[in-house]
Chains A and B, each alone.
Chain A
Amino acid sequence: MKLFSTYRVLAFVVGALLAFCSFVALPLRYLPTEGSSLQQLGETLSVLWVAHGWAFMAYVVVTFLLARKLRWSIGFTILNLAAGLIPLLIFFMEHQVNRKVRAEHPELVTPSAV
């Protein structure tokens, strides 16, 4: 099912960007001395926040559609949407979603989508 695969790809992209921005770009930008080359690097890498924001937009739409289709509860849906903003949570949630889909809608999981 394409929607589920799209969800998994977007979850990974959003999660990776968020983790990188939070744990690499953010400390680099604020911890080193102002104007040093490390700090400049952090400044440059902070552009990736924009990429995260736009990937997150797509993630919200796809996750919402998936949630409607699979009739997730409101709480589970909101938790999944918010996972795109809390570092590392999305990897855990993606694992949960994967298990849930396999248990409840095994017909959606193509053999290749491990």
Chain B
Amino acid sequence: MTAKLAPRFWGAHLLALVLVAIAVGLGLWQYGAWQAHREAQAADLTDAAPVPLDEVMGPDDPFPGTKVGQPVIVRGSWVPTGTVYVSGRERAGQDGYWAVTPLAVGGPGAAALPVVRGWVAHPGDAPAPPSGTTELTAWLQPPEGTGQPDDDPTDDVLPQLRIADVIQHVDQDLYGAYGVAEQPEPGLERADLAQLPDVGALTSIRNLLYAIEWWFFGAFAAFIWWRWLTEEPEPEPAEEPADTPVG
């Protein structure tokens, strides 16, 4: 092995070091990208500066995946006849309801955004739905819907804030989203946000897989280097038995 440390082999050692360093470095880079992507996706937008709703999404747009919890400013007229109560909402350990009234964005008849005005223990205790025009700030949330059916479509209580259910209660289009009012109405408690960004296990998994790959190749280069360092100078193949088939 000491023979391999002779100056004429220094170039080979340097090459091995460079190859291993490059592979480790590229692996670290991919690993960093993987972490950065995950952090970006988990960003909590709820404290961000409010922006006008039309800058985030239009009435016919799909929900922008990176805007969960974004505070938006909504201006328009209430649609009090479209008020619904969403059951099964817990607040401080108590089961209750969300009071939801659509807000026609821009003016009466325009596409509306369902707004969670607040939380109430019983729909009967809720104040009368507001009417007229307003401007409020709300956290934007994607619509719910795991397919739980509304067991009684004729009343105003829904099991989930599903756009397809709310639309039965209004005469206009609805946004593919809902808002949770930052300031609850007097007589209502503030509703908790149901959905905050969640980092999926697969988020940018590709970068992690690349990182592992690079480290593998680094280890492989180091392995070959080590094999070459430690192997004895080979005797001529002629004096060895011919390769025998294996397996």
Interface residues of A (CB under 8 A from B): 1-3, 47, 49-50, 53-54, 57, 60-61, 64, 69-71, 105, 107-108
B209–A54 touching, CB < 8 Å: yes
Asked whether B31 is an interface residue with its Cβ less than 8 Å from the other chain, the reply is no
Give Cα A3 to B237, complex, Å. Answer: 21
* B window 125-159: CB within 8 A of A: none
Whether A53 contacts B209 in the complex (CB less than 8 A), given A60-B217, A71-B237, comes out as yes
A57–B216 touching, CB < 8 Å: yes
Considering residues A53, A61, A64, A70, which has the most beta carbons from chain B within 10 angstroms of its beta carbon? A53
Give Cα A107 to B217, complex, Å. Answer: 32
Q: CB-nearest residue of chain A relative to B247?
A: A2
A53–B210 touching, CB < 8 Å: yes
Nearest Cβ in chain B — how far from A28, in angstroms? Answer: 17
A108–B213 touching, CB < 8 Å: no
CB < 8 Å neighbour of B247 from A1, A49, A57, A64 = A1
Asked whether B122 is an interface residue with its Cβ less than 8 Å from the other chain, the reply is no
Listed by A's residue number, 12 A-B pairs whose Cβ atoms lie within 8 Å are A2-B246, A2-B247, A3-B246, A47-B206, A50-B209, A53-B210, A53-B213, A54-B213, A57-B213, A57-B216, A60-B220, A108-B245
A50–B206 touching, CB < 8 Å: yes
Give Cα A3 to B220, complex, Å. Answer: 19
Whether A70 contacts B246 in the complex (CB less than 8 A), given A54-B209, A60-B217, A60-B220, comes out as no
CB < 8 Å neighbour of B217 from A49, A57, A69 = A57
Label chain B's interface by main secondary structure: helix
Give Cα A108 to B243, complex, Å. Answer: 9
- B217: A residues at CB distance < 8 A: 57, 60
- A61: B residues at CB distance < 8 A: 220
CB < 8 Å neighbour of A1 from B206, B209, B245 = B245
- A50: B residues at CB distance < 8 A: 206, 209-210
Give Cα A50 to B237, complex, Å. Answer: 40
Q: CB-nearest residue of chain B relative to A53?
A: B213
Give Cα A108 to B242, complex, Å. Answer: 12
Nearest Cβ in chain A — how far from B219, in angstroms? Answer: 10
- A54: B residues at CB distance < 8 A: 209, 213
Q: CB-nearest residue of chain B relative to A6?
A: B247
Q: CB-nearest residue of chain B relative to A68?
A: B227
A69–B213 touching, CB < 8 Å: no
* B window 198-245: CB within 8 A of A: 206, 209-210, 213, 216-217, 220, 224, 237, 243, 245
Give Cα A3 to B243, complex, Å. Answer: 13
Q: CB-nearest residue of chain B relative to A107?
A: B245
- A53: B residues at CB distance < 8 A: 209-210, 213
* B window 166-207: CB within 8 A of A: 206
- B245: A residues at CB distance < 8 A: 1, 107-108
- B216: A residues at CB distance < 8 A: 57
CB < 8 Å neighbour of B243 from A49, A57, A60, A105 = A105
- B220: A residues at CB distance < 8 A: 60-61, 64
